[in-house]
Structure 1
Amino acid sequence: MGGIGSGARRSAHIGDIEDALSFDIRILRRLGVARPGECVIDRICWSTGAHERPTARLRIDLSDETCCTMTVTADMPDDTIKQRLMIDAVPSGFGGVRHYFVCPVMGHRCEVLYYVDGRFASRQAHRLSYASQNMTDLIRVRRRVISLRRKLEGGEGQRRLRGRKRTAVIDRLEDTQLLARDIWHDRLRKQIDRSGSRRIPGKKH
């Protein structure tokens, strides 16, 4: 007999987007690192919450719309890499062009590249999914509990909630904790029904 949650549908995806370092061409453009008609060399770092933050040296050449490239030299958590990526310039309906990365594995256009197993490539190439797609209802509720607790505790640049806002979050947290408990007990009941037992663990008789 499988454990609780063993009946969850399995996926061909092998990781979550939220866990992967990435480059978003739209963000790079807003930061001024990707400038149409120019070649820019700059250094960026990812904020991961760890003491040592991964850094990358970028050379983004958009000076020739027929051959745009981005060269990445990066100190990643698992290795130091150097990778050359193609960028496609697509005419925009409002004039000018819109830039997309070209996935080095599958060759399609994408706006975000993710780092997995020593290289940057698209979400589809790395078979990544959003964490919420792989969550069971219990995991989803438990994550909500953690998020609400963090709001109450503050920290990491966030002010501690006060007054009505704090009271509202406390009420939501209590409701969410009750929901998590109900889902857990419901799963236990289903598990016990399958096993033929008459007693729910943790319940007093």
Structure 2
Amino acid sequence: MGGIGSGARRSTHIGNVEEVLALDIRVLRRLGVVHPGECTCDTVHWSIGGLSASSARLRVDLSDIERGGVMAISGEMSDGAIKQHIAIEMVPSPFGGHRCYFICPTSGQRCEVIYYTGGRFGSRKAQRLSYAVQGMNEISRARRKTAKLRSRLSGSGDQPRPRGRNRIDTVRRLREAEFEAKTLYLDRLRNLADRSGAQRIPGDAR
């Protein structure tokens, strides 16, 4: 007979994607680092809290479109030096051009984002990473959604500030997310008050 919790399903995840360094092939393509038909070199920098964390030199050779290419990564990471090659597959797009994918060196599967853990890059599944939202309750997820929309409006990160109809739509979604987060929070307070016998709930009108 096993001990307490011996029959529980064990988690296979060892961290969250938000906590590790990553390379997104879509972002690299927008920056001109990944360019079908060319061989390019550039340096990428990661920062945490506005402070420089690590940097690496990328050499992306996509000169042979039909055969695909490879990205060579070299540099000093937070836990030591890295020298790794990641294969890139180019898939013809129905609207012309090509769509690029990393090939995970562990699983061999296509992916658009690779994550750094254990001294090397790989896909999320191969690196056994999960999303932070998976471990959140409803209120935390609603607040996270609100924070992301606020960040989107301010133009932080790799995306520019939305304009015109996009900005109007983002503002509308932000207001809805704020209302949802507040409603969930008050519902939770009411449930706690019902259990404790409290007479008044914070936020209730008199």
Q: Which residue of 2 is the match for residue 61 of structure 1?
A: 61
Matched, 1:85 2:86: yes
Task: Mark the CA change 1:109 to 1:176 in structure 2 (over 3 Å): closer, same or farther.
Answer: closer
Is contact 1:57-1:72 (8 Å) kept?
yes
Is contact 1:138-1:180 (8 Å) kept?
yes
Cα distance in 1 for residues equivalent to 2:42 and 2:53: 16
Task: Mark the CA change 1:178 to 1:76 in structure 2 (over 3 Å): closer, same or farther.
Answer: same
Is contact 2:138-2:184 (8 Å) kept?
no
Q: Which runs of 4+ in 1 moved over 6 A?
A: 144-150, 172-175
Cα distance in 1 for residues equivalent to 2:189 and 2:76: 42
Once the 2 structures are TM-superposed, how far is the Cα of residue 50 of structure 1 from its aligned partner?
A: 4.8
Task: Mark the CA change 1:132 to 1:96 in structure 2 (over 3 Å): closer, same or farther.
Answer: same
Unaligned runs of 5+ in 2: 1-8, 158-173, 200-206
Once the 2 structures are TM-superposed, how far is the Cα of residue 20 of structure 1 from its aligned partner?
A: 1.9
Q: Any residues of structure 2 matched to 1:1-205 within 5 Å, and which?
A: 11-65=11-65, 66-140=67-141, 143=144, 176=181, 179-180=184-185, 183=188, 186=191
Q: Percent identity?
A: 47
Task: Mark the CA change 1:134 to 1:94 in structure 2 (over 3 Å): closer, same or farther.
Answer: same
Is contact 2:84-2:120 (8 Å) kept?
yes
Cα deviation digits, residues 122-152 of structure 1 (max 9, x gap): 11111222211221235435657877999xx
More strand by share: 2
Secondary structure at 1:53 match in 2: strand
Task: Mark the CA change 1:173 to 1:103 in structure 2 (over 3 Å): closer, same or farther.
Answer: closer
Once the 2 structures are TM-superposed, how far is the Cα of residue 181 of structure 1 from its aligned partner?
A: 6.5
Cα distance in 2 for residues equivalent to 1:136 and 1:10: 20
Instruction: Provide the aligned length of Structure 1 versus Structure 2.
Output: 179
**Cα RMSD for the two superposed structures:** 4.0
Q: Which residue of 2 is the match for residue 5 of structure 1?
A: none
Unaligned runs of 5+ in 1: 1-8, 158-168, 193-198
Between 83-92 and 10-19, the greater mean CA deviation after superposition: 10-19
TM-score when normalising by structure 2: 0.66
Is contact 1:138-1:184 (8 Å) kept?
no
Once the 2 structures are TM-superposed, how far is the Cα of residue 53 of structure 1 from its aligned partner?
A: 2.8
Q: Which residue of 1 is the match for residue 169 of structure 2?
A: none
Q: Which residue of 2 is the match for residue 165 of structure 1?
A: none
Task: Mark the CA change 1:149 to 1:79 in structure 2 (over 3 Å): closer, same or farther.
Answer: same
Is contact 2:142-2:180 (8 Å) kept?
no
